Chain A
Amino acid sequence: MSKTVLIVDDSASLRQVVSLSLKGAGYDVIEAADGRDALGKLGGQKVHLIISDVNMPNMDGITFVREVKKNPSYRFTPVIMLTTEATEEKKRLGQEAGARAWVVKPFQPQQMLAAVSKLVM
């Protein structure tokens, strides 16, 4: 059975880039435009990994990760932050919120896939 990855990013083109690589590697993909949209789309369904941007309207990525980790269904779901931000301070915030990896854009699709297969449950 193929594994499902949730992609949260306000840039439609970036979601497409990530989703294209993931689908090519055999993953199922759910897309959401921001944290709030993602929480709505999750709705208790099983996902094996979450990839989230940091700077987004409505609900930013750090807040989204904090929120999603409150739900027992997703407490152990691995999260990869995918962002243009690269300061240590932001990384620390991501780690504290419960992210498992921090990827700085622009990334190579192969790098992204390696991180996904390393972390996916």
Chain B
Amino acid sequence: MFPNAVSTDSHVLPLAALMAPGAIGALLLGIMGSGAVALGAAVCILLACIAVPLWLLRRLRADQNRIETERASECRARLVSRETYLLSLQQVAQASLTRWHDHVGISREQTETAVGTLVCEFSAILERLQDALQQSHKSSADAGEDSVVGVIAFARVELDNVMGQLNGALAEKQGLTEAVARLAQVTDELMRMASEVGEIAKQTNLLALNAAIEAARAGEVGRGFAVVADEVRKLSDLSGSTGEKIRAKVAATHSAMTEALTAAEHMAQGDAALVRDSEGAIGRVLQRFDQVGSAMTETSRALEDNSAEVQGRIEGVLVQLQFQDRVSQILEAVRADMTRLCERMQEDESTMRGGSMPNSMDVTAWIAALEQTYTTLEQHAAHRPEMQTASAGGDITFF
């Protein structure tokens, strides 16, 4: 990293060369000249020849020590900025992950409740249909497509199909929860890396201190400083490689995040399609039921009662099907936040590729921006116990 760093030993030879001709001149003057004046002059020149180079050597070492000390503290400052960045990234990821995890949990819970209720409603509907079948002896003999038997068979197939899909949706949410859990491991690694960088920064601090001590003793000993200079070089190599490691880790986190994001997107699409299918299935069953109902008015007093009951059940199903709207809003907020963090990390990664360190992240501001996107009370309540009195829906306020 510092190719111009040179050892103090390399200065000794030129200085000796500087001293030698002066010393020879002084000796010649002393030998060839006569009298006290010539001898005095020779001694003065000899002394000057020794003193000036020694003074120069001392200056040189002091300068070099100063430069190395500056490099060491520069290196330390870079490491400290890396540590700060890593810690802030880790904090933001940690805080976001907690929220994503809880919000995915809420959507899973809501889906589970909806699926549970739908199962009950559907089995009640089927029971009613069976009932109708037993009471309408007349058409039970008729096994055509529009007979009660045909309708019930049709309803069973359609509703079983819907239940299968609902269970599939639950499994997908489980997948997202796992992806988020994997992301949590990555943030743990970020934490470890931050502490590693912190350790190196501490070492640099010691080294800078050493360099300062060496600088104070400059000229006295030359050898000690070469060791310090060497350490500074090693350190700058090390700080370079931690920079590369951090970049790689950010890239890995980014790709893990992309994976979770894809899972979230896939799930949201699946949910919407699922609800459309469920409604289609219910619509088709109702239509068949109506057809049968109108075809058998004479025997269908019981059937009509059952029909009203089924209608009521269907309304229950319609309430439950609205879970998709809430769940998709909660998941949309999670997806948007994942995208935001992904983009930020991509930006930071390219900043690091460019050789500079990105700015640290502000956790409070980041979470405040996330909370701005909340649309349901459950999202707020997940992190604020005082909001647990959240409305469960169905409230009507007239202005």
Partner of B393, one of A95, A100, A104: A104
Contact status of A86 and B391, CB under 8 A, knowing A55-B329, A102-B399? yes
**Which residues of chain A are near B325, meaning CB under 8 Å?**
11, 13-14, 84, 105-106
Contact with A along B292-335 (1 / 0, CB 8 A): 00000000000000000000000100111111111011000000
Whether A107 and B319, one on each chain, are in contact in the complex, defined by CB atoms closer than 8 angstroms, is: yes
Partner of B276, one of A12, A87, A118: A12
Query: Is residue B397 within 8 Å, beta carbon to beta carbon, of the partner chain?
Result: yes
**Which residues of chain B are near A54, meaning CB under 8 Å?**
375
Interface residues on A, range: 20 to 34
Query: Is residue B55 within 8 Å, beta carbon to beta carbon, of the partner chain?
Result: no
CA distance in complex: A120, B376 (Å) = 28
Minimum CB distance partner of A119 in chain B: B398
Query: Is residue B56 within 8 Å, beta carbon to beta carbon, of the partner chain?
Result: no
B359-399 interface (Cβ within 8 A of A): 375-377, 390-391, 393-399
Q: Secondary structure of the A side of the interface? A: mixed
Whether B377 and A106, one on each chain, are in contact in the complex, defined by CB atoms closer than 8 angstroms, is: no
Query: Is residue B279 within 8 Å, beta carbon to beta carbon, of the partner chain?
Result: yes
**Which residues of chain B are near A16, meaning CB under 8 Å?**
276, 279
**Which residues of chain B are near A58, meaning CB under 8 Å?**
none
Query: Is residue B44 within 8 Å, beta carbon to beta carbon, of the partner chain?
Result: no
- Smallest beta-carbon distance B243→chain A, Å: 41
Minimum CB distance partner of A99 in chain B: B399
Minimum CB distance partner of B272 in chain A: A13
CA distance in complex: A13, B279 (Å) = 8
CA distance in complex: A99, B399 (Å) = 7
Query: Is residue A44 within 8 Å, beta carbon to beta carbon, of the partner chain?
Result: no
Question: What are 16 A-B pairs with beta-carbon distances under 8 A?
Answer: A11-B324, A13-B276, A17-B322, A54-B375, A84-B393, A85-B375, A91-B397, A100-B398, A101-B399, A104-B395, A106-B319, A106-B325, A106-B394, A108-B315, A109-B315, A111-B394
Show the binding face of B for A, using Cβ within 8 Å: 272, 275-276, 279, 283, 315, 318-326, 328-329, 375-377, 390-391, 393-399
